[in-house]
Amino acid sequence: FEDFVQRVLTGTQPTNITTFFLHCSRPVDLSSFHLWVCSAVRRNAREIELYLDQNHCIELPEELYASPSVEVLKLMLDFLIKVPAGGTCFPNVKILTVQLESPENTLTEKLFCSCPSLEELSIQAYLNDEGPTTKFIISSSTLKRCTLWVATEGEIFTQAEYKVRITAPSLERLHIMSDIFGKFVVHDLNSLTDVILDIVYGEWSRVDPNRSIQLLQQLNNTMSLTVSYGVL
C-alpha cells in the first residue's frame, strides 16, 4: 500500500490536488504519512480527510497547520494536534471534523478558538471519569453550524464531567449528542434557529437536573427545537 501511494504521488506530479483522502486500517510508516500529507499541502489541496489506525496518537505535519489552501479538514481518528504558539491554526479551514479521546484541556480550550475562518465544526469526543473536568471552549465570529458528540470510554453509568462554553454570534445550527449531561454556557447566539439536543439523563446520574433548565433558558431565540427524553 505504501509503495502504491508513493508511486502515485511521485509519478503523476500534478500541479494541484483538489481532494486528498487517506484511509488505512493498518499501520504505515509515519515518515511516509508525513510525506504524503505534505505533498498534498504543497499541491494546494482544498480538502483533506485522514483516517490512519496506528493504535497510538499520531502527530500531524507542521505544514498542515499553516496551509493557505485547505478549506475542509476531517481528522477521523485521534490525531495529536498541537495548536501553534502564534494562536492561529488552520487559517482557511471552513469545515473541521475532529475525533478526540480523553482530550487535554490545553487543546479543547484553544483549538476551536484558533481557526479564524471556521463555518462548520464537528467534534466527536470520548471521555473517561478519571482526571479533571474536560472543557470545550468554542468562540468564533464565523461559525454557522456546530455538532458536538460526547460519549464515555467506559460504562454508560460513568460520572465523567465536561463543560461547554459557546460564543458564536453567527451560529445557526447546534446539534448536541451525549450519553452524559454536561454543563453548558452559551453567549451571543442571536442567529441560532435550529437546535437538536439528544442527551441522556438517567435516574442513576448524580448530575444536577437543573442543567437542562439552564441550557434551555439560554436558547430563547431558537425557531426549531428538538429535545430527547433525557432533557425533559
Residues 54, 20, 109, 220, CA torsion sign: negative
Model confidence over 159-175: pLDDT tens digits? 688 999 999 999 999 99
Q: How confident is the model at residue 203 (pLDDT cuts 50, 70, 90)?
A: low
Q: Pick from 87, 8, 79: which is nearest to 43 by CA?
A: 8
Model confidence over 5-22: pLDDT tens digits? 888 887 777 788 899 999
Cβ neighbour number for residue 203 with a 10 Å cutoff: 4
Q: How confident is the model at residue 208 (pLDDT cuts 50, 70, 90)?
A: confident
Residue 144 has what pLDDT? 97
What's the average model confidence in pLDDT over 153-158? Answer: 61
Given a cut of 90, is residue 148 above it in pLDDT? yes
Sequence-ordered alpha helix ranges (H) in the chain:
2-12, 30-42, 62-65, 105-108, 210-217
Alpha carbon 198 to chain centroid, angstroms? 18
Structural domain boundaries in the chain:
81-229
Residue partners of 187: CB distance under 8 A and separation at least 6: 165, 166, 167
Model confidence over 55-64: pLDDT tens digits? 677 889 999 9
Cβ neighbour number for residue 30 with a 10 Å cutoff: 12
Least confident interval from 41-55, 136-150, 156-170: 156-170
